[in-house]
């Protein structure tokens, strides 16, 4: 990216109110840190955070976001304390898998709908073999709930949805970028039409059936994971993750008629490469477990094509 382009992008966020879902996730934290560090004149940042029985959303904001090493440079610039940002960074209790994104306070929801200029949807479950009901609820129905919410935003300019390059499945050769439309399947699918409502009914029926049989939680989890893989492969996708992420794209495809719609499809995400400093990462992600195992001497070789191009994204933030 040219310096002038970066300046223009940073300037675009001046005075804007941004709503970020999946706020405690890897990508959302990187995006939040960048905005706060480079565009102090952003108006407001709403962060959708799911409360837990152990921690409030305020605790999660401080412990899982502001206190982590990624925000070290920003903390140093601000004298070690980020609490002064709380007038701009506002945690919102909610869950993308619910109607109205789980934001039950009608006054809060109304105010947000009047203020939001930009939505960044990074909420997702990225487990390849996630339970089908869980993956549908977050990756597909979550996108539906988000779209319904976004359509009510009176001044929304842009919706950025984080997807994955692997929605294209296991195709080889040159794969052209194209948007998915409702009903699309991939080459090799055994079913020619994908109906998200039908898939939701199948998942719910299977879950009720397992519960009626008094199955254990472990048995239910295993069966629902198997169902996800089965339904994905039936429609041409290799796993539940990319299958449900493709569904999420289908749900949002027509939103381009309402506002600017950006669907971001990163490949293998690794660490930061330069800013705020090199090498920040959280947990073991994607190929990291292979690198760590090699570095510790536990993995002596890895099967692959030495002539292949490894497509990875290192975030310069």
Is 245 marked active-site? yes
Catalytic residue among 182, 241, 296, 300: 241
Mean of the per-residue pLDDT values for the chain?
92
The predicted pLDDT at position 317 comes to 46
The pLDDT tens digits for 75-132 are: 999 887 788 888 899 999 999 999 999 999 999 999 999 999 999 999 999 999 999 9
The pLDDT tens digits for 12-62 are: 999 999 999 999 999 999 999 999 999 989 999 999 999 998 999 999 999
Q: What is the mean pLDDT of residues 156-180?
A: 92
**The model scores a pTM over 0.95:** no
Catalytic residue among 34, 44, 245, 300: 245
The predicted pLDDT at position 316 comes to 57
3-184+239-315: CATH topology is Rossmann fold (3.40.50)
Is 241 marked active-site? yes
* Structural domain spans, the chain: 3-184+239-315
Question: What percent of the chain is modeled with pLDDT above 70?
Answer: 97
Q: What is the residue whose two structure tokens read 């930009």? A: 118
The pLDDT tens digits for 224-276 are: 999 999 999 999 999 999 999 999 999 999 999 999 999 999 998 888 888 89
Question: pLDDT-derived band of residue 300, with 50, 70 and 90 as boundaries?
Answer: confident
């Amino acid at each position: 990216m040219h310096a002038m382009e970066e300046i223009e992008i940073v300037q675009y966020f001046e005075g804007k109110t941004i709503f970020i879902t999946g706020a405690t996730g890897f990508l959302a934290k990187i995006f939040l840190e960048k905005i706060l560090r480079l565009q102090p004149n952003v108006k407001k940042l709403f962060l959708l955070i799911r409360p837990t029985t152990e921690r409030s959303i305020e605790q999660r904001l401080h412990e899982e976001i502001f206190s982590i090493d990624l925000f070290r440079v920003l903390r140093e610039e601000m004298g070690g304390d980020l609490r002064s940002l709380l007038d701009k960074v506002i945690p919102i209790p909610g869950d993308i898998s619910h109607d109205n994104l789980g934001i039950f306070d009608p006054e809060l929801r109304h105010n947000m709908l009047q203020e939001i200029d930009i939505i960044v949807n990074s909420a997702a479950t990225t487990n390849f073999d996630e339970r089908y009901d869980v993956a549908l609820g977050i990756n597909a129905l979550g996108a539906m709930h988000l779209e319904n919410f976004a359509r009510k935003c009176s001044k929304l300019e842009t919706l950025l949805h984080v997807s994955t390059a692997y929605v294209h499945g296991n195709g080889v050769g040159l794969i052209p970028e194209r948007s998915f439309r409702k009903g699309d399947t991939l080459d090799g699918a055994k079913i020619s039409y994908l109906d998200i409502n039908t898939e939701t009914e199948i998942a719910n029926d299977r879950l009720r059936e397992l519960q009626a049989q008094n199955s254990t939680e472990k048995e239910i989890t295993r069966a629902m994971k198997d169902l996800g893989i089965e339904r994905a492969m039936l429609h041409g996708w290799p796993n539940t993750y990319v299958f449900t992420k493709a569904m999420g794209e289908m749900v949002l495809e027509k939103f381009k008629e309402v506002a600017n719609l950006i669907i971001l499809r990163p490949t293998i995400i690794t660490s930061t490469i330069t800013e705020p400093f090199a090498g920040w990462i959280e947990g073991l992600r994607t190929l990291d477990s292979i690198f760590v195992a090699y570095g510790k001497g536990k993995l002596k070789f890895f099967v692959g094509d030495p002539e292949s191009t490894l497509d990875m994204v290192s975030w310069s933030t």
